[in-house]
């Protein structure tokens, strides 16, 4: 389940946000990817600062809706396959969009991606967390272990 928001004037006309306060309903990266594909879509590929801002506004509206939304990061469709050069300086260039799009746009949080065993990417949504070196943990991207539940 999720909230579907459609726009007639944007490249990707519809987005679906799925947020679960119930931790037992949150899923890993591959499960989220499969759920999107079953729904006829794909995990989000962000192609520009404008699209990033659109998604941030959607998440802010979801928060304001009185749903009681709290901390919980969102999977996006960026990931790194294999462990090839995961610890080298080339690691950030190994991330690719799950839907095959080639957008070079990135919105990493400070000191991310950290690579290593973290190969799947979330958009931060931790409004109650104390800010870190890169500011609040809101809407920037972080690589995480693919089996984490978001």
DSSP string, the chain: --EEEE-TTSSS-EEEE---SSGGG---HHHHHHHHHHTT--S----SHHHHHHHHHHHHHHHHTTS---S--EEEEEEE-SSTTTTSTTGGGGEEETT--------BPTT----TT--EEEEEE-TTSPPBTTBSSEEEEEEE-TTS--
pTM for the full predicted model: 0.87
pLDDT at 16 over 90: no
- Side-chain half-sphere CA neighbours of 100 within 13 A: 1
Q: What is the mean pLDDT of the chain?
A: 85
CATH number of the structural domain 1-142:
3.10.100.10
For 134-146, how does the pLDDT look when each residue is reduced to its tens digit (9 = 90+)?
999 999 999 999 9
| pLDDT over threshold 80, residue 32 | yes
What integer pLDDT is reported at residue 87 of this predicted model? 59
pLDDT of residue 21: 73
Q: For the segment 122-136, what is each residue's pLDDT rounded down to a tens digit?
A: 999 998 899 999 999
pLDDT tier at 15 (50, 70, 90 boundaries)? confident
Stretch 107-113: mean pLDDT? 95
| Residue 108 β-bridge partners | 141
């Amino acid at each position: 389940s999720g909230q579907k928001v459609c726009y007639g004037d944007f490249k990707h006309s519809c987005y679906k946000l799925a947020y679960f306060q119930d931790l037992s309903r949150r899923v890993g990266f591959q499960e989220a990817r499969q759920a999107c594909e079953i729904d006829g879509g794909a995990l989000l590929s962000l192609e520009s600062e404008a699209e990033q801002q659109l998604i941030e506004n959607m998440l802010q509206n979801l928060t304001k809706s009185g749903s009681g939304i709290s901390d919980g990061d969102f999977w996006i469709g960026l990931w790194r396959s294999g462990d090839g050069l995961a610890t080298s300086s080339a690691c950030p260039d190994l991330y690719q969009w799950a839907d095959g799009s080639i957008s070079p746009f990135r919105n990493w949080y400070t000191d991310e991606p950290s690579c290593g065993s973290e190969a799947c990417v979330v958009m931060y949504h931790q409004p109650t967390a104390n800010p870190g070196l890169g500011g609040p943990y809101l809407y920037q991207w972080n690589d995480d272990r693919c089996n984490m539940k978001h």
